[in-house]
Amino acid sequence: MVDQHLIVVGLAVGLAYLYAFVGGFTDAANAIATFVGMRVLSPRAAVALAGVFNLCGGLTGTAVALTIGTGLVDPSALSLVAVIAALMGAMTWSLFTYFFGIPVSETHGLIGGLVGAAVATAGLDVVQYQGLTKVLVAIIISPSVGFVGGSASLLLIYWTFRRSRPGRVKPWFRHLQRVSAAYMAFSHGRNDAQKPMGILAMALALYVGGKALHVPLWVVVSCAAVAKHDCLPHGCAWLWWA
């Protein structure tokens, strides 16, 4: 007879990998969409670039994974069923917004699903408000910093090259756009690939009964690889149209 706990952890692990893939429907194309639209990169080259640098970013650390796994709710009060519910809630929201073309944050969707499942399982006492507060503050700070930084960068570029002829600087800007696309893809992998790492490590810890959450190397590599392939849904569409 098959162990029911093994079936449940298998479902949690499978959903964690599926969540990494689903994330590409809303996030993976962000790094390269504008550069393809401006014909700086061909669709094939853009998909290849995004895949490589997403993978590299996912292999560079586990800080975000540990925050997801231990910094928001007390993992000892959770169950594998709660982990599955959190993933299902996050993916349902992601696919719903994808269908209607609404840009959303995969991170905050997962955090909401995780905290909601934890509260439903063990009550409000399970929430670690210090870690959750940091996330909520980041919701406000992140777009604000991006707005100010983007505006300041654009003004600096305009001022620096105000007397330059467009024909002379255009090749340089094309190269710099490739660099910025690679950097954004790397940043996406460094952040987003770690979310399923944290959930997967949490599921494994709950299954074996461990108190300390650890992200094994095989979890890092496999989640980074799956997150790298989350650019394929958009990539395949671009390749079909190219």
Decide if 228 contacts 59 (C-beta within 8 A). Answer: no
More confident residue, 225 or 125: 125
Q: Is the pLDDT of residue 241 over 50?
A: no
Q: Is the pLDDT of residue 196 over 80?
A: yes
Tokens at 64, concatenated? 């975000």
pLDDT, tens digit, 9 for 90 and up, residues 209-218: 766 778 888 8
pLDDT, tens digit, 9 for 90 and up, residues 16-66: 888 888 776 666 667 777 777 778 877 778 878 877 887 888 788 788 888
pLDDT at 242: 43
Q: Is the pLDDT of residue 162 over 90?
A: no
Residues spanned by the domain of 77 = 4-241
| Number of Cα atoms under 13 Å in the Cβ half of residue 237 | 10
More confident residue, 2 or 69: 69
pLDDT at 225: 75
More confident residue, 33 or 194: 194
Looking at the chain, the number of H-run helices and the number of E-run strands are: 11, 0
28-37, 66-75, 87-96, 133-142 — which is least confidently predicted?
Answer: 28-37
Burial class (CB in 10 A: 0-12, 13-18, 19+), 12: buried
Rg (CA), the chain: 20
Q: Which of 70, 92, 84 is nearest to 12 (CA)?
A: 84
Total number of domains constituting the chain: 1
Decide if 61 contacts 187 (C-beta within 8 A). Answer: no
- The mean of the pLDDT values for the chain is 81
Kindly state the average pLDDT of the residues 144-168: 90
Q: Which of 85, 59, 91 is nearest to 227 (CA)?
A: 59
